[in-house]
Amino acid sequence: MFNLENTKYHRVTHSFPPFYNSDSEILILGSMPSTKSREVGFYYMHQKNRFWKILENVFNENIGDGIEAKKEFLTKHKIALWDVLKSCDIHGSSDASIKNVEVNDINKIIKSSNIKKIYTTGKKSYQLYNKYILNDTKIEAILLPSPSPANCQISLETLVENYQVINTK
């Protein structure tokens, strides 16, 4: 368990835009990008995060390594990505340490796309979405397990089984 005592917090602001277009039907929400994702400027970019490997398995196709390849994949499958939080105090990339939150305006995406389903990647994003955003969007989120390396007790196979729900084709 993460020890929050004597933890050094930093105020972090989401530093890159949501990824979506008017055809997006699925919105996948994390809590706040990891330190590595903030450095790179795109979602789920820590080399040990299993998000992209999960999607490769769910859709049975190779995504590729670059950000542009990931964007092409997301566009093809009508998937939008964003995070629940606009800013927060956080220690490193630990969801368990998140406090003093400011949420994103998720309706911004919903109003300018074709979002039918919202999924959250992990308990923290699910809790934050339900607490701060659900009343505005009126769209129930579906909780998916976190693909983070911190959630290593869940196998890739189990994650893929859980994420199959997003492949509606």
Instruction: Indicate which residues carry an active-site annotation.
Output: 49
Amino acid found at 59? F
Phi and psi torsions of 3, nearest 5°: -95, 115
- What is the C-alpha separation between 89 and 100, in angstroms, rounded? 6
What are the φ and ψ backbone dihedral angles of 29, each rounded to 5 degrees? -115, 130
